[in-house]
Structure 1
Amino acid sequence: MRRQASMMAILAATAQGGAMAGDVEWGAYLAAECTTCHRRDGSADGIPAITGWPEAGFVAALRAYRGGARSSQTMQTVARGLDDGDIAALAAYFATYPPAAD
């Protein structure tokens, strides 16, 4: 039930915000905070990989953290400091990397 509610919140956040083109250069600047935990090479090592995601999925995930629909205190704190333009920029930046190898 909780998982279904989370997915509904993610879909609602995506629909609510609509598509937004991200500024890759701004995303590269903002990514410094992300890459203190997440690796640019896509390796996980206990922290999920965020490289190569489709931009819409990346945006939906960060909006869900920001809104509290996804649980991770660290990610919620980070996401609450980002506006929609910042999130779109990060999505555009991390999409320039190849997806993580499984």
Structure 2
Amino acid sequence: MRRIAPLAGVLALLLSAAAQAADPHLARNLAATCANCHGTDGRSAGGMAVLAGEPKDKLLASLKAFRSGDKPATIMHQISKGYTDEQLDLIAGYFAAIKPAGGAK
């Protein structure tokens, strides 16, 4: 039974890769919903966290913590529940790949 969890993870990555290959803009499209609060491409002008250039693992951990309720939020706990693990992974990867304003990272 212990082998099921790693196999499930591999399967999820393959499905995520297949979805990304089917729609190369999927990550960008999913992340577009974040622009209302976090600015275009995650480059917040202030008041909200900057997402652009943050490490993917940090972003993904935050998204999952919002979804589980472990991290307090006003709206993120509701928004994050609308995404699968694979979609959250794509969103985190998208923002991690963007250079923040000023190109600091």
When the two structures are superposed, what TM-score results if normalisation uses the length of structure 1?
Answer: 0.70
Q: Taking structure 1 as reference, are residues 72 and 41 closer, same or farther at Cα in structure 2, changes over 3 Å only?
A: closer
Q: Taking structure 1 as reference, are residues 26 and 85 closer, same or farther at Cα in structure 2, changes over 3 Å only?
A: same
Extract unaligned runs of 5+ from structure 1.
Answer: 1-16
2:36 equivalent in structure 1: 36
Count of matched residue pairs? 85
Q: CA deviation at 1:28?
A: 0.2
Hey, what's the Cα distance between the residues in 2 that align with 1:49 and 1:71? 18
Runs of 4+ in structure 1 over 3 Å off: 20-24, 99-102
Check the 8 A contact 2:42/2:51 in 1, yes or no: no
1:91 equivalent in structure 2: 92
Q: CA deviation at 1:100?
A: 5.2
- The answer to whether structure 1 residue 76 and structure 2 residue 77 are counterparts is yes
1:19-50 CA distances to partner (integer Å, 9 max, x unpaired)? Answer: x5774732101112101111126234111111
Q: Taking structure 1 as reference, are residues 65 and 98 closer, same or farther at Cα in structure 2, changes over 3 Å only?
A: same
Extract unaligned runs of 5+ from structure 2.
Answer: 1-8
**Bigger RCO of structures 1 and 2 (CA < 8 A, at least 6 apart):** 1
When the two structures are superposed, what TM-score results if normalisation uses the length of structure 2?
Answer: 0.68
Q: Taking structure 1 as reference, are residues 78 and 41 closer, same or farther at Cα in structure 2, changes over 3 Å only?
A: closer
Q: CA deviation at 1:99?
A: 3.5
Matching residue's letter, 1:73? T
Secondary structure (helix, strand or coil) at the match of 2:98 reads coil
Check the 8 A contact 1:50/1:94 in 2, yes or no: yes
1:56 equivalent in structure 2: 57
Decide which structure has the larger Cα Rg and report it. 2
Hey, what's the Cα distance between the residues in 1 that align with 2:50 and 2:31? 13
Secondary structure (helix, strand or coil) at the match of 2:51 reads coil
Hey, what's the Cα distance between the residues in 2 that align with 1:95 and 1:28? 12
> What is the percent sequence identity of the aligned residues?
31
Q: CA deviation at 1:72?
A: 0.7
